[in-house]
């Protein structure tokens, strides 16, 4: 009797295994065309993503002159097409519920991460805006937020500026929110000097000497960008003459030109007999006999006290 029950149980077990295998086989047969179609669709999505990245990289690099940011944006474009391909695969296979769950989770995660990293995201988006708007290029001299220097690189989060030998990394959001001056946008750079001439001098002669001197300096532009020499104000010991001229923004030695201009102007004025006034500091030393009367008793008392001690 027991052997018959064992035989029946074994037959039922084998039948169950066969039934499950048959169901799995039928399911695989039904799903196989969908899997093949999904694989083909994903491969097409990868091909489109790769082509889109290549086209975007070439176009952005020619426009942005910043390989780092151009490659990053190109990767984002490729990632977008890959994600679209994955969602299409899930839909073809019939896992639309999983796709909806993934989209919902991604939306919530993006909101939480975006709120937590608000400043980083703000600088990142500002970097993208700067890359497309291009208020400056690599090598331009800019000034913003009290920082003036030469643009070295535009990164994802900040802009690298070289100022007086120091590398300054300015958050991109500050460049978007605050006024920005580009000194090399027009390919010329203004330079200005203020020179003091003593009162009573021949100012017209001084202006003529300075103008002639500036005209003879190599690197100072002329023609459409003439220099100017004007009396602009007074100080405690001199009349101020302002000299403004233009140099090539991308040419070498703008600092050298300014140094040469100062030296040659000072030498020319000195040779013409002009005195360059300096600040005079007067130091007075008062003796005890010039103290006020109300201070005399204190001094006498102190001397009497010192005499008694001796």
**H-type helices in 65-117, by residue range?**
67-93, 96-116
- Report the alpha-carbon angle 87-92-93, nearest 5: 100
Digit-by-digit pLDDT tens for the chain (310 residues) are 445 545 556 667 676 777 767 776 666 666 677 777 778 888 888 888 888 888 888 887 777 666 656 776 787 788 888 888 887 877 777 666 665 666 566 565 555 555 555 677 777 778 777 777 778 877 888 888 888 888 888 777 888 898 878 899 998 888 888 888 887 777 777 888 998 888 888 889 999 999 999 988 888 888 778 889 999 888 888 899 999 988 887 666 667 888 889 999 999 998 988 888 777 666 766 665 554 555 544 444 444 444 444 4
The residue among 182, 204, 221 that closes a domain is: 182
For residue 9, what are the CA distances in angstroms to 4, 20, 243? 9, 17, 109
In terms of residue numbers, what domain contains 142?
135-182
Greatest distance between any 2 Cα atoms in the chain = 142
In 3D space, the residue among 166, 159, 168 whose CA is nearest the CA of residue 135 turns out to be 159
Residue 170: how many other CB atoms lie within 10 Å: 21
Do 178 and 196 share a domain, yes or no? no
Do 111 and 26 share a domain, yes or no? yes
Do 192 and 289 share a domain, yes or no? yes
Do 178 and 244 share a domain, yes or no? no
Collapsed DSSP state (helix, strand, coil) of residue 223? coil
- Residue 164: inside a domain: yes
Half-sphere exposure of 57 (CA within 13 A, CB side): 14
Whichever domain contains 28, its CATH number is 1.10.287
- Residue 244: inside a domain: yes
Do 145 and 207 share a domain, yes or no? no
Beta partners for residue 190, in sequence order: 246
- Residue 127: inside a domain: no
- Residue 123: inside a domain: no
The residue among 88, 116, 144 that closes a domain is: 116
In 3D space, the residue among 134, 118, 127, 114 whose CA is nearest the CA of residue 173 turns out to be 127
Do 84 and 201 share a domain, yes or no? no
CB 175 within 8 A of CB 161: no
What is the rounded distance in angstroms from the CA atom of residue 193 to the CA atom of residue 206?
14
For residue 285, what are the CA distances in angstroms to 180, 282, 293? 52, 10, 18
- Residue 57: inside a domain: yes
- Residue 130: inside a domain: no
What is the rounded distance in angstroms from the CA atom of residue 83 to the CA atom of residue 42?
10
Do 309 and 193 share a domain, yes or no? yes
- Residue 287: inside a domain: yes
Do 195 and 289 share a domain, yes or no? yes
Tell me which DSSP letter residue 157 carries. S
| pLDDT in the model for residue 243 | 92
What is the rounded distance in angstroms from the CA atom of residue 245 to the CA atom of residue 266?
16
Beta partners for residue 154, in sequence order: 159
What is the rounded distance in angstroms from the CA atom of residue 191 to the CA atom of residue 193?
7
Whichever domain contains 169, its CATH number is 2.30.30.60
pTM of the predicted structure, to 2 decimals:
0.47
Whichever domain contains 224, its CATH number is 3.30.70.100
In 3D space, the residue among 209, 202, 207 whose CA is nearest the CA of residue 229 turns out to be 207
Residue 194: how many other CB atoms lie within 10 Å: 13
**H-type helices in 117-253, by residue range?**
118-133, 172-177, 203-215
The residue among 166, 182, 198 that closes a domain is: 182
Do 65 and 166 share a domain, yes or no? no
- Residue 125: inside a domain: no
Do 172 and 228 share a domain, yes or no? no
Beta partners for residue 245, in sequence order: 191
Do 190 and 290 share a domain, yes or no? yes
Do 8 and 102 share a domain, yes or no? yes
Q: In the chain, how many domains are there?
A: 3
Collapsed DSSP state (helix, strand, coil) of residue 145? coil
């Amino acid at each position: 009797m027991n052997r018959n029950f064992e035989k029946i149980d074994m037959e039922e077990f084998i039948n169950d295994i066969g039934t499950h295998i048959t169901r799995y086989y039928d399911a695989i047969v039904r799903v196989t065309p969908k899997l093949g179609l999904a694989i083909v669709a994903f491969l097409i999505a990868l091909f489109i993503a790769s082509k889109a990245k290549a086209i975007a990289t070439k176009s952005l690099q020619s426009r942005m002159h910043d390989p780092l940011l151009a490659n990053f944006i190109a990767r984002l474009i490729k990632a977008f097409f890959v994600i679209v391909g994955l969602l299409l695969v899930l839909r073809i296979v019939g896992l639309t519920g999983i796709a909806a769950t993934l989209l919902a989770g991604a939306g919530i995660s993006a909101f939480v991460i975006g709120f937590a990293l608000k400043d980083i995201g703000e600088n990142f988006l500002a970097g993208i805006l700067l890359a497309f708007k291009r208020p400056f290029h690599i090598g331009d001299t800019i000034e913003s937020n009290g920082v003036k220097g030469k643009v070295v690189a535009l990164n994802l989060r900040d802009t690298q500026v070289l100022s007086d030998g120091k590398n300054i990394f300015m958050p991109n959001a500050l460049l978007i929110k605050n006024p920005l001056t580009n000194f090399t946008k027009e390919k010329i750079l203004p330079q200005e000097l203020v020179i003091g001439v003593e009162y009573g001098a021949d100012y017209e002669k001084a202006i003529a000497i300075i103008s002639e001197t500036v005209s003879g300096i190599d690197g100072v532009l002329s023609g459409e960008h003439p220099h100017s020499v004007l009396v602009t104000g007074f100080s405690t010991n001199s009349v101020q003459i302002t000299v403004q001229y233009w140099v090539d923004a991308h040419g070498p030695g703008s600092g050298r030109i300014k140094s040469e201009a100062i030296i040659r102007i000072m030498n020319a004025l000195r040779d013409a007999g002009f005195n360059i006034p300096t600040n005079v500091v007067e130091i007075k030393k008062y003796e005890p006999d010039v103290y006020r009367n109300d201070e005399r008793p204190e001094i006498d008392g102190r001397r009497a006290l010192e005499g008694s001690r001796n």
